[in-house]
Amino acid sequence: MVITTTIVDSDELLHSTFASRYVRAPVPRFKIAEKSMPKEAAYQVINDELMLDGNPRLNLASFVTTWMEPECNDLIMASINKNYVDMDEYPVTTELQNRCVNMIAHLFHAPAGEDETAVGVGTVGSSEAIMLSGLAFKRKWQNKRKAQGKPYDKPNIVTGANVQVCWEKFARYFEVELKEVKLTEGNYVMDPVKAVEMVDENTICVAAILGSTLTGEFEDVKLLNELLIKKNEETGWDTPIHVDAASGGFIAPFLYPDLEWDFRLPLVKSINVSGHKYGLVYAGVGWAVWRTKEDLPEELIFHINYLGSDQPTFTLNFSKGSSQIIAQYYQFIRLGFEGYKKIIENCMENTMLLKKGIEKTDRFDIVSKDIGVPLVAFSLKDSSKYTVFEVSENLRRFGWIIPAYTMPADAEHIAVLRVVVREDLSRSLAERLVSHIGQVLKEMDLLPVHISSQTAIVNKTLQDSEGKKIVKKSEREMQEEVTQYWKKLVEGKRVGVC
């Protein structure tokens, strides 16, 4: 979505050195050109600009897959012209999607027999999957309230304040109140006890996260299930659970098979997972899976026949490419359980190596946990001279894209860096990153405090109107003010945590 243009993009014409071999006139930037240009020129104009993008392999801000095998790349290109929604024209692609749904459902212990068809759908990512799951919960709750003759105009969802922004989008777009359990310093995931306390008769579901975006930590879905069962028995409600397993859904089954978080828990009615994260597929595929057919209201499913046959569809968008669906199936049959397990184990080993290297600097506190998604989140022990935002900016000199951000309410004063360890972050790259972090710290130690005008607040004393009483800022207040200053300074350069 285009809202504004930046200063560097304000020039209305685009000049290209190589394009001048084919065309002499500049290319309009914001209007379609009057005339065509040679394909070589069009390619070079775009290629020149794309050189300024970051290297996806060094983008450690993102959970999204940035490498796949050449054979899978070939499959993707061979199917890039197929519109997935044309099920009658591309029945094999539809069959592959259904196989993927069933594989994921069995991986998550859905109560479906070997010969039964699981209930689920491929999406363009976990955001769409969450929207669909939320709509199913809202509609089921509304139908029940209508049947009971009770008001059904004030639905709410209970989540932790650490949820990804797509939950806020769902709440705003589909008019559902989002009730967030606030965080506390040292505890950056939803507290199940506080979550259940916030549940009322209008709660359509409690959303738990398997793999927090902020720290990679798994929320305690089993405890949430037990507490919610007890509350449902006491109140007569039947509040269900949705598990947002966008990041952890392809981690837990392979590393922590005995961890109960999925359909083994009776109140878990739906789960979303991102195929383009640790499902090991390029961006553009997610999955929503329901416990049983009864958990997905039939009225939300559309049946169309103008493309050749009766086609049931439950998606927010209609047309979409088939490539990522096919790529997901490739990974499932290519890797199998054993292959996924080895890859995730390797990611965790590199995570531990990275963590130990960062700890050896003795400059950071590790915020992330050892059990969870392969990532390391860490904060500076001392932010009086420079902040994590500056460390992040300086690491870009070496090509590393590592996000710095503040925690949600009520832990906004904590600012951290986060490194996501994907399959393509090798041991040698992890070691090189640790070396570059150390180099950046040494260089920044030698620099003068260039934010002294802002951090002066930290060291100065304040006197009252009579000039007698001296008031000093607390350490937490100092940290908050410095962090907020740098957060605003780099706000325009960042697109958020993904």
Stated length of the chain: 498
Q: How far is CA 127 from the centre of its chain?
A: 9
- What is the sign of the dihedral through the CA atoms of 345, 348, 349 and 350? positive
- pLDDT for the residue 464: 43
Q: Which residue has the tokens 């798994």?
A: 218
The rounded distance, in Å, linking the Cα atoms of 314 and 139 is 14
8-12, 112-116, 396-400 — most confident range:
396-400
* 152 contact partners, CB below 8 Å, separation of at least 6: 141, 142, 145, 146
Which of the 8 DSSP states describes residue 210?
Answer: B
CB atoms within 10 A of CB 33: 13
- pLDDT for the residue 316: 86
87: confidence class by pLDDT, cuts 50, 70, 90: confident
φ/ψ of 286, rounded to 5, equals -140, 175
215: confidence class by pLDDT, cuts 50, 70, 90: very high
- pLDDT for the residue 475: 53
Residue 456: is its pLDDT beyond 90?
A: no
Q: What is the pLDDT of residues 248-275, one digit of tens each?
A: 999 999 999 999 999 999 999 999 999 9
* 178 contact partners, CB below 8 Å, separation of at least 6: 156, 157, 159, 167, 168, 171
Determine contact, residues 162/209, Cβ cutoff 8 Å.
yes
112: confidence class by pLDDT, cuts 50, 70, 90: confident
Residue ranges and CATH numbers for the domains of the chain are 1-28+37-50 (4.10.280.50), 75-333 (3.40.640.10), 345-446 (3.90.1150.160)
- pLDDT for the residue 465: 45
**The two three-digit tokens of residue 321, written as one number:** 């490419």
Helix axes 165-173, 126-147, angle to 10 degrees: 40
Residue 448: is its pLDDT beyond 90?
A: no
Residue 308: is its pLDDT beyond 60?
A: no
- pLDDT for the residue 404: 96
The rounded distance, in Å, linking the Cα atoms of 90 and 341 is 32
Q: Whole-number mean pLDDT of the chain?
A: 88
Which of the 8 DSSP states describes residue 294?
Answer: G
In 140-184, at which residue ranges do the beta strands (DSSP E only) sit?
A: 156-160, 177-181
Cis peptide before 238 (omega within 30 of 0): no
> What CA–CA distances, in Å, run from 122 to 86, 110, 265, 326?
14, 17, 23, 11
The rounded distance, in Å, linking the Cα atoms of 231 and 201 is 11
DSSP run (H or E) holding 152: none
Q: What is the pLDDT of residues 460-470, one digit of tens each?
A: 444 444 454 44
- pLDDT for the residue 161: 95
The rounded distance, in Å, linking the Cα atoms of 154 and 465 is 50
The percentage of the chain sitting over the pLDDT mark of 90, rounded to a whole number, equals: 70
Q: Which residues, in sequence order, are bridge partners of residue 179?
A: 158
452: confidence class by pLDDT, cuts 50, 70, 90: very low
pTM of the model: 0.87
Residue 40: is its pLDDT beyond 70?
A: yes
- Span 109-125, average pLDDT: 88
495: confidence class by pLDDT, cuts 50, 70, 90: very low
Residue 200: is its pLDDT beyond 70?
A: yes
The rounded distance, in Å, linking the Cα atoms of 182 and 204 is 19
Q: What is the pLDDT of residues 342-389, one digit of tens each?
A: 999 999 999 999 999 999 999 999 999 999 999 999 999 999 899 999
Residue 204: is its pLDDT beyond 80?
A: yes
9: confidence class by pLDDT, cuts 50, 70, 90: low
Residue 98: is its pLDDT beyond 80?
A: yes
- pLDDT for the residue 474: 57
Residue 494: is its pLDDT beyond 80?
A: no
115: confidence class by pLDDT, cuts 50, 70, 90: confident
